[in-house]
Chains A and B, each alone.
Chain A
Amino acid sequence: MTFEEKLAKLSQIVERLEKGNDLPLEDSLKLFEEGVGLVRACRETLENAEQRVTNVLETDNF
């Protein structure tokens, strides 16, 4: 999943949990764990991201 997809998924989970009083507890917990996992993954991605720069010409004569 890309960072963008993770964020979108996270927002879906929060929404589902907000509305989901009908949701069985087990399912809520699963969603919760998934959500917390996504938060952690996104945060790590952001904090550990190192900017990559590629020169498509492999030359910098300009």
Chain B
Amino acid sequence: MQLEIPMATRTVHSVSEITDLLKNLIEQQPHLQNVWVQGQVSNYSRSGAGHIYFTLKDDRSQIQVIMFRSSAAGLRFVLKDGEEVLVQGRLNLYPARGQYQINANKVEPLGIGALQRAFEDLKQQLADEGLFAEHHKKPLPVFPLKIGVITSATGAAFQDICQQLRKRYPLAEVLLHPTLVQGDGAAEGIVHALQAMNQRDDIDVLIVGRGGGSIEDLWAFNEEVVARAIFASAIPVVSAVGHETDFTIADMVADHRAPTPSAAVEHIVPDQTELLTQLEGYDAWLCRIINDRFDALKTRLQDLETRFSPTRRKDAIYQLHQTLDTLDLACRSAVGQKLADGERDLHTLAQRLNALSPLATLERGYSISRKMNGEILISNQQVSVNDRIEVQLSHGHLACRVEAVGDSETD
């Protein structure tokens, strides 16, 4: 006879009840809530929502690993099948599949330094995306009025920035957005500060940074979210992380990389000493230009003044007098000459006239006979016997009476 356990004594569980029992059993074990497990990655996949799934294996066993998007975002390197990794997380049970799994917070690669690996991977990825490209670099303002500073309010970096600004260009106002710069929440804090600063419209340039520290201390500046927030900033960003030798992803994506916080200030503001020198130069130049102008005008004025002086006027009158005198003289001498010329001409004419005079003929022995009425005798027909005639000689004249009228000698 088969012994039956009476129904009343059977405890029947639903699948869910048993699953929940096991789930509690696992999840209430404190030492299972924070475990580090080493193994090899296989069946790696990433869902559209950004969650990561893979199987962690060693030579005998395997366990499922899930890394939700929130944690996966903090993954500082690219997971690949076959990779030996360390997973940190808590164990839980996924009731829908009846599967226990590690809910991972962190995954770190074994082999090369985890951080170094993460740095190289992110650098490569962002470079491929063009986030470091020169044409994305925004120019910095020459005379920033407001400088946004994103760093720890209590850190040395902020003190350095303020001190350097006071010394160099106190005109610029500093707006500090305090944030954690290392440890948990630092990257998120920096991203938030970058976004908050970009909400304002009065910031000319941003300094994002911190003082020196270990690579872990500076790690927030190697986070992808920080790099992307810097890239997305409409305000130009100057990175100033650590010391000269520290080179972070933030430095590469920033519009300008300053080796230190005080170097950042030197780069983004002019030096007031230089500005004062420049102002002195303007001052001197202005005075020089206006003085030159005055001198030129003065010279011109003096010139005009001399031209209109009484002495000059008297001189002018004297000069006119002199001119008049000269003209007068010239006139007179011209007239005198004319007279002399006339005299000479007259004399010549007189001589010529004289030469033509009959008196000259008389001098050679000829004479002129006239009737008493003055009629000159040229023919015997003009007179009768006993007519009185007058004969003019060269010297004196004769009163004569015609005795006979003869024919001409040729008759």
Contacts and interface: CB of A to CB of B under 8 A. Distances in A.
A59 B229 CA distance: 23
A45 B286 contact: no
Interface in A16-62: 17-18, 21, 25, 28-29, 32, 35-36, 39, 42-43, 45-47, 49-57, 59-62
A4 B142 contact: yes
Contacts of B171: 3, 45-46, 49
A53 B154 contact: no
Contacts of A62: 152-154, 178-181, 189
B290 A28 contact: yes
Contacts of A32: 286, 289-290
Nearest to A47: B276
B170 A51 contact: yes
A55 B189 CA distance: 15
Contact of A51 (B142, B145, B165, B287): B165
Contacts of B154: 60, 62
B175 interface: yes
Contacts of A2: 143, 145
B178 A36 contact: no
Contacts, number: 99
Contact-size category for B: 35 or more
A1 to B, nearest CB: 12
Interface in B123-171: 142-143, 145, 152-154, 162, 165-166, 170-171
A55 B290 contact: no
B279 A43 contact: yes
A46 B274 CA distance: 11
A30 B162 CA distance: 40
B354 to A, nearest CB: 82
B391 interface: no
Contacts of A18: 289
A53 B178 contact: no
B378 interface: no
B95 to A, nearest CB: 41
A39 B290 contact: no
Contacts of B285: 14
A3 B286 CA distance: 19
A61 B172 CA distance: 24
Contact of B170 (A11, A13, A35, A49): A49
Nearest to A25: B297
B20 interface: no
Given A4-B142, A51-B170, A62-B153, A56 B276 contact: no
A14 B288 CA distance: 10
Contacts of B289: 14, 17-18, 32
B177 A57 contact: yes
B272 interface: yes
B366 interface: no
A39 B181 CA distance: 42
Contacts of B177: 55-57
Interface of A: 2-4, 7, 10-11, 13-14, 17-18, 21, 25, 28-29, 32, 35-36, 39, 42-43, 45-47, 49-57, 59-62
Given A10-B282, A61-B153, A62-B178, 16 more contacts: A3-B143, A4-B142, A7-B278, A35-B282, A46-B170, A46-B276, A47-B276, A49-B170, A49-B272, A51-B173, A51-B174, A53-B173, A56-B196, A59-B178, A61-B178, A62-B154
Interface of B: 142-143, 145, 152-154, 162, 165-166, 170-181, 189, 196-197, 272, 275-276, 278-279, 282-283, 285-287, 289-290, 293, 297
A-B pairs, 4 with minimum CB distance: A60-B153, A4-B143, A49-B170, A62-B178
